[in-house]
């Protein structure tokens, strides 16, 4: 499967967790295509690998959700506990929740904890645009000298 087909399949598929596939939350990128994930019903984290076909096609960040399959003895020898089967997009997370298969450990205030969905982010942007007079939340570049009105008048 080529890059275009892989990315299209990752966006359009509606995977569901099953007996071998678990929903996990990305905690940390360990490098080399390996990620530390939090699993439901456990206190410990696991290390999973991203298959080569997904690398440089689908990116994940801390707080993202993935479907993982934990391996047996052969994965322990490689110091990896399992493999990422699918990176879950907001629509796919919503589908899993509608099916009633979302782990309760990842629920907070009625929605998935972690990064907000695209709909929630757009609502925040829209609500923030109404109050555009406030410049306190703008990014300040600390690498530049801040000129005050007194300095610019002197020149």
Q: Which fold has domain 3-129?
A: OB fold (Dihydrolipoamide Acetyltransferase, E2P) (2.40.50)
Model pLDDT, residue 143: 83
Model pLDDT, residue 69: 92
For 112: left if phi > 0, alpha if psi spans -120 to 50, otherwise beta; the answer is: beta
pTM of the entire predicted model = 0.63
pLDDT digits (tens), the chain, 155 positions: 676 776 777 677 788 888 889 999 999 999 989 999 999 988 889 999 998 888 888 888 999 999 999 986 555 557 899 999 999 989 999 999 999 999 988 887 444 444 444 444 444 444 444 545 566 667 777 888 877 776 555 55
Model pLDDT, residue 152: 54
Q: Where are the domains of the chain?
A: 3-129
For 97: left if phi > 0, alpha if psi spans -120 to 50, otherwise beta; the answer is: alpha
Spatial separation of the C-alpha atoms in residues 85 and 6, rounded to whole Å: 12
Model pLDDT, residue 63: 93
Model pLDDT, residue 97: 93
What SS3 state is found at 77?
Answer: helix
Model pLDDT, residue 154: 55
Model pLDDT, residue 137: 67
Spatial separation of the C-alpha atoms in residues 94 and 112, rounded to whole Å: 9
Model pLDDT, residue 68: 94
């Amino acid at each position: 499967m080529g890059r275009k087909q892989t990315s299209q399949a990752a966006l359009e598929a509606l995977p569901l967790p099953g007996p071998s596939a678990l929903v996990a939350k990305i905690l940390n990128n360990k490098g080399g295509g390996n990620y530390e994930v939090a699993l439901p019903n456990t206190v410990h984290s696991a290390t999973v690998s991203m298959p080569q076909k997904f690398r440089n096609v689908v990116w994940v960040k801390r707080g993202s959700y993935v479907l993982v399959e934990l391996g047996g003895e052969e994965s322990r020898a490689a110091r990896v506990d399992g493999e990422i089967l699918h990176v879950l997009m907001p629509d796919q997370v919503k589908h899993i929740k509608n099916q009633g298969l979302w782990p309760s450990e990842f629920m907070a205030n009625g929605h998935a904890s972690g990064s907000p969905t695209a709909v929630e982010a757009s609502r925040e942007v829209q609500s923030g645009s109404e109050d555009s007079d406030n410049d306190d939340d703008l990014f300040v570049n600390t690498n530049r000298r801040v000129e005050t009105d007194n300095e610019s008048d002197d020149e």
